[in-house]
């Protein structure tokens, strides 16, 4: 509650503008050190820090996946650029950046160029909403969970726009599949979230995390966790639900026609969304930045301890995603939709019922009671 990211950004902005204002003559200096100017620059700095942090994390996440997948496949993954290949993704990024981006002649210009950008931007917005630790985000939003999920579900629209405007049959099939899949799995995800919201009594992610001080929600709401993870795998289009990209059948799915930096946008955003999915799972089910009581106080009280534990959990969740990717084959479209509507929705409904039971019981024998911060 003391130091938030926004207050840090404001302090930096004040320092910069104060230094400029002290040099300038009076009327101009007054305008520069104005509260509105300071706040505007603070917002920009805040956004820049968020962008930098999320992008760096995404790139490290890609490295982590490459290394893990390597070991799962009995090889090493990236090795030579930087320590253990840490800088390999930067090298790849530079390579993609230098490449030409070609638009097919028959493609729709506006949709073709704006699709990837909008896809990336809508995914990046969510980072400003999700709290990584107390005070990391822009503040306590009363409906932050709802907002995050709403922005998260924009993606199929932009994927479909870019697939449609590519004017390529593989892109179109990929886009169709992507839209069908994301809409099919949106429902069970939201129902699983409803279970969490019922127990915590709040749409505010900070409150939801603080509700989990006695026990993390995955213990009583295990069913909801399973549904949420499966749904998130489909939303992130990762194996076994990577039908929209199915390399073997659809070339590269909805990003077949994209090359160079536009492809990099799609690639980065896929991992951004993987990161976001891991964020949401940690926030909703794994206690966010809080640690159970038996963890020694020294381990949870050092500076930035909240962010440390949060990111540790995020990377563990992502490791499980990679593990699933290394193990399971891709499902068929009909299997995917059948599992989505016939299995996931009833399971999610069941988890909502269980959550309602938990709310009426209030206390569990071993785990203890849920605090009632949200009322």
- Applying CB under 8 A, the residues found at the interface with another protein are 68, 70-76, 79, 323-324, 326-329
The CB-of-76 to another protein minimum distance in angstroms stands at: 5
The CB-of-191 to another protein minimum distance in angstroms stands at: 21
Q: Which of 90, 323 has the CB closer to another protein?
A: 323
d(CA 346, CA 9): 46
Q: Which of 115, 188 has the CB closer to another protein?
A: 188
Q: Which of 229, 275 has the CB closer to another protein?
A: 229
CA angle 43, 44, 48 (to 5 degrees): 115
Q: Which of 72, 315 has the CB closer to another protein?
A: 72
Q: What is the DSSP letter of 363?
A: E
HSE (side-chain half, CA atoms, 13 Å) at 180: 19
Q: Which of 76, 169 has the CB closer to another protein?
A: 76
What burial letters (b/e) apply to 57-67, b meaning 16+ CB within 10 Å?
bbbbbbbbbbb
The CB-of-59 to another protein minimum distance in angstroms stands at: 23
The CB-of-71 to another protein minimum distance in angstroms stands at: 5
**Cβ atoms 211, 359 nearer than 8 A:** no
Per-position DSSP letters for 231-296, written without gaps between them: HHHHHTT-TTS-GGG-HHHHTTGGGTT--HHHHHHHHHHHHHHHHHHHHHHHHHHS-TT---TTS-
Q: Which of 41, 232 has the CB closer to another protein?
A: 232
Q: Which of 215, 315 has the CB closer to another protein?
A: 315
d(CA 120, CA 117): 5
The dihedral region occupied by 338, where left means phi > 0, alpha psi between -120 and 50, and beta the remainder, is: alpha
**Cβ atoms 305, 296 nearer than 8 A:** no
Q: Which of 106, 334 has the CB closer to another protein?
A: 334
The CB-of-69 to another protein minimum distance in angstroms stands at: 10
Q: Which of 22, 335 has the CB closer to another protein?
A: 335
The CB-of-78 to another protein minimum distance in angstroms stands at: 12
Long-range contacts of 195-198 (CB under 8 A, 24+ apart): 195/221, 195/224, 195/348, 195/351, 195/352, 195/354, 195/355, 196/221, 196/224, 196/284, 196/285, 196/355, 197/145, 198/352, 198/355, 198/356, 198/358, 198/359
Biggest alpha carbon–alpha carbon distance for the chain? 71
The CB-of-241 to another protein minimum distance in angstroms stands at: 13
List phi, psi (to 5°) of 369: -100, 160
The CB-of-86 to another protein minimum distance in angstroms stands at: 16
The CB-of-323 to another protein minimum distance in angstroms stands at: 6
The CB-of-245 to another protein minimum distance in angstroms stands at: 20
CB atoms within 10 A of CB 256: 21
Q: Which residues in the chain belong to E strands, given as ranges?
A: 363-364, 368-369
Q: Which of 68, 155 has the CB closer to another protein?
A: 68
CA angle 129, 226, 292 (to 5 degrees): 65
């Amino acid at each position: 509650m003391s130091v938030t990211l926004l207050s840090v950004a404001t302090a930096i902005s004040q320092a910069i503008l104060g230094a400029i204002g002290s040099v300038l003559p009076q009327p101009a200096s007054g305008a520069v050190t104005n509260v509105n100017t300071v706040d505007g620059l603070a917002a920009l700095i805040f956004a820049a820090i968020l962008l930098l942090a999320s992008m760096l994390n995404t790139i490290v996440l890609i490295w982590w996946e490459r290394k893990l997948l390597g070991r799962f496949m009995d090889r090493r993954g990236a090795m030579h650029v930087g320590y253990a290949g840490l800088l390999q993704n930067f090298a790849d990024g530079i390579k993609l950046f230098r490449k030409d981006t070609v638009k097919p002649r028959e493609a729709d210009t506006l949709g073709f160029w704006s699709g990837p950008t909008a896809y990336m931007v809508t995914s990046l917005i969510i980072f400003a909403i999700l709290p990584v630790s107390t005070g990391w985000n822009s503040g306590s939003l009363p409906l932050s969970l709802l907002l995050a999920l709403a922005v998260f579900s924009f993606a199929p629209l932009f994927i479909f726009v870019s697939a449609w405007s590519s004017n390529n049959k593989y892109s179109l099939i990929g886009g169709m599949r992507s839209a069908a899949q994301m809409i099919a799995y949106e429902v069970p995800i939201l129902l699983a979230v409803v279970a969490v919201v019922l127990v915590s009594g709040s749409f505010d992610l900070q409150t939801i995390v603080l509700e989990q001080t006695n026990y993390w929600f995955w213990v009583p709401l295990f069913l909801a966790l399973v549904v949420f993870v499966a749904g998130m795998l489909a939303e992130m289009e990762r194996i076994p639900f990577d039908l929209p990209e199915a390399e073997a059948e659809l070339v590269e799915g909805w990003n077949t026609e994209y090359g160079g930096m536009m492809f990099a946008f799609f690639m980065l955003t896929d991992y951004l969304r993987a990161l976001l999915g891991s964020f949401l799972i940690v926030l909703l089910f794994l206690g966010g930045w809080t640690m159970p009581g038996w963890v020694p106080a020294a381990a949870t009280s050092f500076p930035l301890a909240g962010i440390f534990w949060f990111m540790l959990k995020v990377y563990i969740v992502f490791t499980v995603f990679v593990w699933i990717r290394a193990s399971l084959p891709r499902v068929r479209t009909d299997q995917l939709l059948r599992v989505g509507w016939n299995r996931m929705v009833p399971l999610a409904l069941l988890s909502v019922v269980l959550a309602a039971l938990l709310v009426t019981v209030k206390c569990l024998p071993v785990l203890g009671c849920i605090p009632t911060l949200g009322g």
